[in-house]
């Protein structure tokens, strides 16, 4: 399905029962909404699950770079308006988690809760330089220049060795990401600094880093956790950046527990869940 939003077409999919609380999933840089394939069947038992390809990715439009997080968050708000949804639980990983912070700070009335996975609130000068190098490489050699090194950062060595099919799947997503989307979002990431604004986040928040993530490790996530009053913190063991894929079962268990608690959902018959909160 497609929606005209902020000058481009946004591709999205919806799964799960329409009356259920809505959960919106926002993917990482250089992937698509398909990276959530291990979460959708689990979440759709109890929730209305919305996925979308962010600007410059997948089947969504790619406007000329640079982008900023005001624009990327506005795309989400526009999609919610298009769907007639007032408030959602937002789950974002990596750049998706930064979009989640932007929404919680500036559009908190549209969120019921937020889950911030493998993400950060602030980029150091050193890392800004790394992004200059990555963007220059893409401008010179296209997205193929990023495939191998990105897979090395996103998954642990044992997982890469054992999961050749997954490496091909994710590698193809990286290679086929529009260069405008990568550069636009990369420039947005370079400029991120919302650490001073985290105190404005009032919705229930879960910060969920991965144990072996080299770029956004638990120590970085801890700073976000400390900045968001009352936030919860859970480290996904045995995973690197894309913990929702590498340790899907653990990721799903932590995510669903948080959502059931804060969305006040009773698991539907047949969902085989043993825990739930009080009726709505």
Q: What is the pLDDT of residue 271?
A: 53
Q: What is the pLDDT of residue 268?
A: 59
Residues 6+ positions from 125 with CB-CB distance below 8 Å: none
Show the tokens assigned to 213: 């993530």
Decide if pLDDT at 277 tops 60: no
204-239: b (≥16 Cβ within 10 Å) or e: bbbbbbbebbeebbbebbeebbebbeebbbbbbeeb
User: What is d(CA 208, CA 203) in angstroms, rounded to the nearest whole number?
Assistant: 16
Q: What is the mean pLDDT of residues 156-180?
A: 98
Question: How many C-beta neighbours within 10 Å does residue 163 have?
Answer: 15
The enclosing H or E element of 24 equals strand 22-26
Specify the CATH number of the domain 2-263.
3.40.50.1820
Q: 151 — phi, psi (to 5°)?
A: -60, -35
Decide if pLDDT at 276 tops 60: no
Question: How many C-beta neighbours within 10 Å does residue 16 have?
Answer: 20
> Which of 92-106, 201-215, 221-235, 258-272 is predicted least confidently?
258-272
Residue 271 in 3-state DSSP?
coil
Q: What is the pLDDT of residue 274?
A: 40
User: What is d(CA 192, CA 171) in angstroms, rounded to the nearest whole number?
Assistant: 26
User: What is d(CA 171, CA 67) in angstroms, rounded to the nearest whole number?
Assistant: 24
Confidence of residue 273 (pLDDT cuts 50, 70, 90): very low
Decide if pLDDT at 269 tops 80: no
Decide if pLDDT at 272 tops 90: no
Q: What is the mean pLDDT of residues 145-168?
A: 98
Question: What is the overall mean pLDDT for the chain?
Answer: 95
Confidence of residue 279 (pLDDT cuts 50, 70, 90): very low
Q: What is the mean pLDDT of residues 112-139?
A: 97
Confidence of residue 179 (pLDDT cuts 50, 70, 90): very high
User: What is d(CA 160, CA 35) in angstroms, rounded to the nearest whole number?
Assistant: 16
Q: What is the pLDDT of residue 270?
A: 56
Indicate the domain borders of the chain: 2-263
Q: What is the pLDDT of residue 264?
A: 77
Q: What is the pLDDT of residue 57?
A: 98
User: pLDDT tens digits for 47-72?
Assistant: 999 999 999 999 999 999 999 999 99
Question: How many C-beta neighbours within 10 Å does residue 196 have?
Answer: 10
Contact 93, 118 (CB under 8 A): yes
User: What is d(CA 244, CA 250) in angstroms, rounded to the nearest whole number?
Assistant: 8
Q: What is the mean pLDDT of residues 213-218?
A: 97
Decide if pLDDT at 108 tops 50: yes
Q: 51 — phi, psi (to 5°)?
A: -120, 150
Q: What is the pLDDT of residue 114?
A: 98
Give 117's strand partners.
93, 208
DSSP conformation class of 122: B
User: Residue 56: left (phi > 0), alpha (psi -120 to 50), or beta?
Assistant: left
């Amino acid at each position: 399905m497609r929606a005209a939003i902020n000058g481009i077409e946004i591709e999205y999919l919806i799964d799960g029962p329409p009356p259920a609380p809505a959960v919106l999933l926002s993917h990482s840089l250089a992937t698509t909404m398909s990276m959530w394939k291990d979460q959708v069947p689990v979440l759709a038992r109890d929730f209305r699950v919305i996925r979308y390809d962010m600007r410059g990715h997948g089947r969504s439009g790619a406007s000329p770079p640079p982008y900023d997080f005001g624009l990327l968050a506005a795309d989400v708000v526009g999609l919610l308006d298009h769907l007639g949804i007032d408030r959602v639980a937002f789950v974002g990983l990596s750049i998706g988690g930064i979009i989640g912070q932007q929404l919680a700070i500036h559009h908190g009335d549209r969120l019921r809760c937020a889950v911030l996975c493998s993400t950060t609130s602030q980029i150091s000068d050193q890392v800004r330089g790394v992004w200059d190098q990555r963007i220059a490489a893409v401008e010179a050699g296209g997205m193929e220049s990023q495939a191998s090194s990105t897979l090395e950062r996103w998954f642990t060595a044992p997982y890469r060795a054992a999961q050749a099919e997954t490496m091909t799947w994710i590698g193809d997503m990286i290679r086929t990401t529009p260069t405008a989307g990568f550069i636009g979002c990369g420039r947005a990431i370079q400029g991120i600094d919302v650490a001073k604004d985290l105190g404005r986040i009032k919705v229930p928040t879960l910060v969920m880093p991965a144990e072996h993530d080299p770029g956004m490790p638990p120590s970085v996530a801890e700073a976000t956790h400390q900045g968001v009053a009352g936030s919860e913190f859970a480290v996904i063991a045995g995973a690197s950046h894309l913990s929702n894929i590498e340790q899907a079962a653990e990721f799903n268990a932590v995510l669903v527990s948080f959502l059931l608690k804060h969305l006040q959902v009773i698991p539907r018959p047949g969902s085989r869940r043993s825990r739930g909160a009080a009726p709505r």
